[in-house]
Structure 1
């Protein structure tokens, strides 16, 4: 396997790379991660079963799209591919340091700058991708209220129903969500899509984000999710607002947006997230 990965790296970089050292890293939820070294260079490698090539390919697309905007540092994609029995994604290796107030301030400013770029006229993405291990549909739509209610809440509710977990009438919830957002007309912003503390790090010079689930949507969804599991420090939100003021009504919409992520956690992990999802749906729609 490592020989095949080294050959892919060599081909992509037009150099002769061999794996002289490899070290498994901790922290991966669904993939096995390694730091590999050779010829004076280090790379970060994700490994999974062969059928996981498509999620790696869409992750690479998201990272490259974020990188093209030159707002926030993300790991450079080196290559991805398959061996006889494994799929892999090779990224630039970035040594991470402890978080700092300056780093969080930078991240707030940089995310706000990313969200201010509105080159896309519709909501969605060129490919479906994954939120964690859950397929995330991204069919292009011109109306945000329809996109979010159908492809975010409706999609997750249907997945849960197929697993035997019903949360009321899906059509009713989707329609209520659409009505809640009917008079909110955000410009499409490129989103990280899975912005929580576990997907943020800090190098010596700048913050870095990774493991994205990108699509073009309402900027508020990134900011809202950053408050759900391990809220970012206050300086992040202050610096974001200094660059890009959140619209009126954000405080009323943030829990609606975070319901999507709670439903996804209910689908993936069950347990208390099922109860949390039920309570949130009751508060939002009943």
Structure 2
């Protein structure tokens, strides 16, 4: 969710090409650096190395440009399964040295922990954004009630907390011609199906191969497709808060899939 003015390319003294990213708020660059390092520590999917960060700026490797391919998509699926399996201390856990009050794009995101996925997801990944959308006039009381009913019907889960990228839309998956790279995380502990649901929501090259390879490496519980709407509530509500009415209908439709 970066804007063009936030980024510039540079070359280090040793010849390495990097990207310099300006944080949109104090501490945002440090939060992103913590997320990138946490994802990299899993040694599962390629992540740009962090060369420097301070209060306002982040300097990371520039990802070489390439095209996605079916073999790369399958490697990405298997790598994403390993990333999720690296785990997190709890649902909502921030990366080590990451802030509790973090961001997804330019929207606030609270990394408050919980042990029960459905209760945590409702309290910290759905209802805060419903309240923000109500405050902005995008939703009224009737629409808010739809989301409250959906939260009461979230599927129970005994999945352990996964190490999530957290903002896994197509624009944050780059391809170098051989491998996929992950950028711009909103990393936290969560349900692994939430990352996958975001890939479904915004598209991903060779998505069927990505998911098939993931499912082969780390089989998903039966009925996953029926739960996609529940896991898409989070990104759809974030986009409603950031971009307004254009996503409000999709968010309501996802909520109504839960009854």
When the two structures are superposed, what TM-score results if normalisation uses the length of structure 1? 0.80
Aligned residue among 240, 254, 257 for 1:280: 254
Cα distance in 2 for partners of 1:148, 1:228 equals: 18
* Equivalences for residues 30-49 of structure 1 within 5 A: 31-39=5-13, 40-48=15-23
* Equivalences for residues 82-93 of structure 1 within 5 A: 82=55, 87-93=56-62
CA contact (8 A) 1:121 1:142 kept: no
* Equivalences for residues 205-284 of structure 1 within 5 A: 205-233=178-206, 234-284=208-258
Structure 2 counterpart SS, 1:53: coil
> After alignment, is 198-207 or 184-193 more displaced?
198-207
Offset of residue 272 of structure 1: 2.3
Offset of residue 254 of structure 1: 0.9
> After alignment, is 108-117 or 220-229 more displaced?
108-117
**Count of aligned pairs:** 251
Q: What residue ranges of structure 2 are gaps of 5+ in the alignment? A: none
* Structure label with greater radius of gyration: 1
Cα distance in 1 for partners of 2:179, 2:115 equals: 35
Question: Structure 1 residues 241, 63: closer, same or farther in 2, change over 3 A?
Answer: same
- TM-superposition CA deviations, 1:219-273 (whole Å, max 9, x none): 1111111000124411111111110111123222111110221111111112321
Structure 2 residue 50 is matched with structure 1 residue 74: no
Cα distance in 2 for partners of 1:115, 1:222 equals: 9
Q: Relative contact order (C-alpha < 8 Å, sep 6+): which is higher?
A: 2
Offset of residue 170 of structure 1: 4.6
Structure 2 residue 72 is matched with structure 1 residue 103: yes
CA contact (8 A) 1:124 1:140 kept: yes
CA contact (8 A) 1:153 1:174 kept: no
Partner of 1:10: none
Structure 2 counterpart SS, 1:95: coil
Question: Structure 1 residues 65, 264: closer, same or farther in 2, change over 3 A?
Answer: same
* Equivalences for residues 162-177 of structure 1 within 5 A: 162-167=135-140, 168=142, 170=144, 173-174=147-148, 176-177=150-151
> What RMSD in Å do the two structures reach over aligned CA positions?
2.1
Cα distance in 2 for partners of 1:265, 1:278 equals: 12
